[in-house]
Structure 1
Amino acid sequence: MIRTVIVDDDPMVCAHLREVFAFADDIEVVDEAYDGAAAVESVLRHRPDVVLMDLRMPGVDGLAAIPRIRSLDRPPVVVALTTFDTDDHILRALSAGAAGFLLKSTPPRDLIGLVRVAADGHTVLSPSASRRLVAAATTRHTARTTMLTQLTARETDILACLGAGLSNAQIAARLHLSEGTVKNYISQILAKLQCANRTQAGLLAHQAGLV
């Protein structure tokens, strides 16, 4: 059985979801919680496999409750189930540790199947959430790739070396520069590309086809 806890501040929503899962002989709703704090207590008490978590609730909301639940010993899979599918809600829920993002408008049969998929350890996303994530990722990639045009030829060469995983000493030897000069170049590259570290810059080099 897939032991499931439903978290939503609307009792009608909880009742509807109970009816939906009553048609699945392998899913058991073991409890309902009406805010994030009660959700954490429910998880500790019932040790479910899956938690369906609304995001916007009075008191402790779902976005605050998700990381608390995920930090527990042997935490359940948490899937955001909400009415709102803005980019901010999707990214914040997934960043908090949610294994999926589904809309309450998901057809009952699909919802049952997606809970089973989530319980097996896979990420589940509503079609609109998938489209938004792809669009957001494409926008970020396009913006950063455009930033590459700000680099000089030498900086582009060094970025390619970062993508290849070379150390400062190795880059200096390959490009016949001093390590100090390489370090200065890397600082300039990180600033121009708005990268926090050389790993991010190296990843961008791969995305841009420099490696």
Structure 2
Amino acid sequence: MHTIRVMIVEDDPFWLERLTVDIGAERDIEVVATASNKADTLEQIQRCYPDILLLDIHLTGNRLDGIELLRDNPEVIHCPVIMLTSMVEQEIILEAFAYGAVNFLHKSSVSDIIQTIRDCYQGRMAIHPDAATVLRKGFVMSTQLDGLTPVEKEVFKLDQLGYNKPQIAAKLNKSFATIKNQLRTIRRKLGRIIERE
């Protein structure tokens, strides 16, 4: 039986130790490398050639986004990537999959992570429930957004990220009245209220 070679990229010492110990305790999985920053990650991948990469999505201690690492280094990151997080955010999950992640899990779900490693290695790519609902909503939303103009899509995205009307106006260099009217148009097109007070 081949031992599944796993690399963990995590900058929080608590989570790094917990994941390394719990995953390494499995008979069929070996943690061959760990890293906490971009340089070490890219070096270790080329040195160890892991079968699976577990990549934390918020490498806050190093001011590095796991998605940024995945996006900017496709020629180095040659193995399947399972993204780990401590929170579930729709925009981030969709972006992770867009740049090639094969799954997305909450890092506290260690037993799920272990099973996902095995499934991924064996080519079974069932999306974990942490991400499945978000992906479904994202697909439905992207279909609905097809009816919006490019400018309306930009306004809508900022609205969904929590920007208020004055902030959207400033960011897009438009008047408050214009943004207010565009949000009303978007609300009408999507058939639901998205406007923020």
TM-score range, shorter chain: 0.5 to 0.7
Who is 1:44 aligned against?
46
Matched with 1:7 is: 9
Q: Looking at secondary structure, tell me which structure has more helix per residue.
A: 1
**Cα 1:26/1:101, change in 2 over 3 Å:** same
> 1:55: which partner in 2?
57
Q: Which residue of 1 aligns with 2:78?
A: 75
Structure 1 unaligned spans of 5+? 148-211
Distance 1:20 1:124 in 2: 22
Distance 2:74 2:102 in 1: 10
3-state DSSP of counterpart to 2:58: coil
- Which of structures 1 and 2 has the bigger CA Rg? 1
How far is the alpha carbon of 1:143 from its aligned partner? 4.7
Q: CA deviation at 1:69?
A: 4.6
Q: 1:141 to 1:39 in 2, by over 3 A?
A: same
Q: Which residue of 2 aligns with 1:17?
A: 19
1:66–1:122 CA distance, 2 compared to 1 (3 A): farther
- Sequence identity of aligned pairs in percent? 29
Equivalent position of 2:93 in the other structure: 90
How many residues are aligned here? 145
Calculate the TM-score normalised by the size of structure 1: 0.62
Check the 8 A contact 1:69/1:75 in 2, yes or no.
no
Residues 24-58 of structure 1: CA deviation (Å, up to 9, x unaligned): 11100011101233211110111100110001112
For 2:111, the equivalent position in structure 1 comes to 109
Q: Could you list the runs of 5+ residues in structure 2 that have no partner in the other structure?
A: 150-197
Aligned-residue CA RMSD (Å): 2.2
Q: Which of 61, 68, 90 is equivalent to 1:64?
A: 68
Is the alpha carbon distance of 1:109 and 1:56 closer, same or farther for their aligned partners in structure 2, counting shifts above 3 Å? closer
CA contact (8 A) 1:21 1:27 kept: yes
Distance 1:146 1:75, change over 3 A: closer
1:123 counterpart residue number: 125
- CA distance change for structure 1 residues 63 and 143 in 2, over 3 Å: closer, same or farther? closer
